[in-house]
A and B are shown apart, each in its own frame.
Chain A
Amino acid sequence: MTGPGTTLPPLPRVAGDPPRVDRPAPAAHRRAELGAHDRSWAWQVVSGALVLVLVSVHMVAQHFVVPGGLRDFAAVVEWLSNPVVIGVELAFLTTVLWHALLGLRAVLFDFGLSPRAERRLTRFLAAVWVLTVGYGLWLMWVIVAQA
């Protein structure tokens, strides 16, 4: 912890001072369990930037160009027959879910979970992501099949 030539002698203890409680440095203790660096903030920013673009595209193309804001069933089927639309909507779903679940994970981590609980939560949320994307894929397939 100290560089060369910088160690200062510890302050002398005055008689009657309470014994100093040596507590383990919290950062070191947790680092050993979790691995050194959690880069989720970086992924949050990256996914957030993508979401900004994709949600704008989605809002305009899905809702704002359509009179009344919603397509009726026939229009939906026709809209989804375009593979570009499918691609963009799929990108939107996967990215917004990724951002959302990362954010939820951050809020839940503030509950002060044990490293094991954190790993479990991360795995659980990853599974939620997979299942929800799967649902989206299934739904799109069902709609396209109606054409």
Chain B
Amino acid sequence: MTHLTSPDRRSSHHAPTGWLDPRGRRLSAIVFVLNRLSGLFIILYLYLHLVVLSLLAGGAASWDGFVAFARSPIVLALDVVLIAGLLLHGLNGIRVALVGVGLVERERALFVALLVVGAVLLAIATIRVFGA
């Protein structure tokens, strides 16, 4: 029988965003997707941050106005979201690095431990951000 190279047959074969498909996925795979998404958003934030920093070139006149704005509750809430993203990405990175070279076999235990650490750090950060 003839096959196999028409695009319809290979429809799932090359989907560049295939890794985004959450259907049927379990925890580790979802964490992998979140790791990528958080990484991409952090890159966007990084460049936003760098652009905002250019206000410093305008001296106190432009910078101090921004500082006042950045203390508003909405921005602070977004800061907490950012920190959550950084914690997710960073702590999951630790898991990937340790499990990914076979240094840690008990992947589940490590995941739970890092989750707890992340929750604690996020709580501390939230208190610090809103308490200041």
Contacts and interface: CB of A to CB of B under 8 A. Distances in A.
Direct contact of A and B (CB under 8 A): yes
Interface of A: 18, 21, 41, 45, 48-49, 51-52, 55, 59, 64, 67-74, 76, 96-97, 100, 103-104, 107, 110-112, 132, 135-136, 139, 142-143, 146
A104 B43 contact: yes
A69 B50 contact: no
Given A45-B93, A69-B70, A73-B63, 12 more contacts: A21-B4, A48-B90, A48-B93, A49-B97, A52-B93, A68-B132, A70-B71, A100-B42, A112-B16, A139-B56, A142-B56, A143-B57
A3 to B, nearest CB: 25
B132 A67 contact: yes
Contacts, number: 78
A112 B1 contact: no
B60 A73 contact: yes
Given A72-B60, A104-B43, A139-B53, A110 B90 contact: no
B90 A51 contact: yes
Contact of B40 (A55, A76, A107): A107
B63 A96 contact: no
In terms of DSSP, what is the predominant structure of the interface of chain B?
helix
Contacts of A48: 90, 93, 97
Contacts of A143: 56-57
B39 interface: yes
B70 A70 contact: yes
Interface residues of B, number: 37
Interface string B1-29: 10010000000001010010000000000
A59 B86 CA distance: 11
A135 B57 CA distance: 12
Contact of A112 (B14, B19, B46): B14
B43 A136 contact: no
A95 to B, nearest CB: 12
The 10 closest A-B pairs by CB, nearest first: A73-B60, A111-B16, A73-B63, A45-B97, A48-B93, A70-B67, A142-B57, A100-B43, A103-B39, A72-B64
Given A45-B97, A69-B132, A104-B43, A55 B16 contact: no
